[in-house]
Amino acid sequence: MLIQGATKMLRFPNLLILPDKAYSLSIEELNSKRASDRFLIDHTVRGVNFSDSFDAWTTSLAVSKEFLEDYGLYKLKIPLEWLLIRFLRHHVEADSLNLLSTDDRQVLTSSNFREYSGREFSGTEAEEILRTLIQSWAGVHPEGALEFRDLFVSTDFTLEILEPGLEALISQGHIKKLGQNVYMVR
């Protein structure tokens, strides 16, 4: 969530889980020429594959200040940081991180954010996708806890799809709820 009147973004997910790998994320705000020239909040993001440290990347990731300031008007139930990491995930999956880093490259704005706010899936599709992601995570970190936000950014689900999908996996014994929004693979 954003602190009223501040531009600091504080609630970034720590993980990006793909069907075949999982990345640890480290994110820092970046005071760049690009940010001042284009009125952006810019970040440096480093992703490191848990299984293969040679599979690592660093990129810029930005949101327009205008969108940041107007975000509350859209009345979305998710922190903007989560949308920004979904935006990143799409570029990781498409192998197009190069589109994020240069001065004139892509950023999250009011004109493109809906692509990353989630779409509908059937319950069966959601469970299948979640099982795949959980198996991917268990393959690299069998005892590791997962947070709701890490699963959210690793999918294209709406909140209304993700929550029942997780409940179904709990009832099937695939995951265990450890606390509020924290899960462990069984």
| Residue 185: other Cβ atoms inside 10 A | 18
DSSP string, 27-38: EEEE--HHHHHH
Long-range contacts of 168-177 (CB under 8 A, 24+ apart): 168/123, 168/126, 168/127, 169/127, 169/130, 169/131, 169/134, 174/131, 174/134, 175/134, 175/146
Q: Longest C-alpha distance within the chain, in Å? A: 51
- Confidence (pLDDT) at 146: 94
| Tens-level pLDDT at each residue, the chain (186 residues) | 333 333 455 689 999 999 999 999 999 988 888 778 888 989 999 999 999 999 999 999 999 999 999 999 999 999 999 999 999 999 999 999 999 987 778 999 999 999 999 999 999 999 999 999 999 999 998 888 999 999 999 999 999 999 999 999 999 999 999 999 999 998
Sign of CA dihedral 27, 118, 90, 165: positive
Sign of CA dihedral 89, 94, 95, 100: negative
- Confidence (pLDDT) at 4: 35
Are 79 and 116 a contacting pair, CB within 8 Å?
A: no
The angle that helices 123-140 and 159-171 make with each other, rounded to 10 degrees, is 70
Strands of the sheet containing 175-179, edge to edge, are 145-147, 182-185, 175-179
120-135: burial string, b at 16+ Cβ within 10 Å, e else: ebeeeebbebbbebbe
| Residue 77: other Cβ atoms inside 10 A | 8
Are 60 and 44 a contacting pair, CB within 8 Å?
A: yes
| CATH tag for 123-185 (out of 3.40.50, 1.10.10, 1.10.8, 3.40.720) | 1.10.10
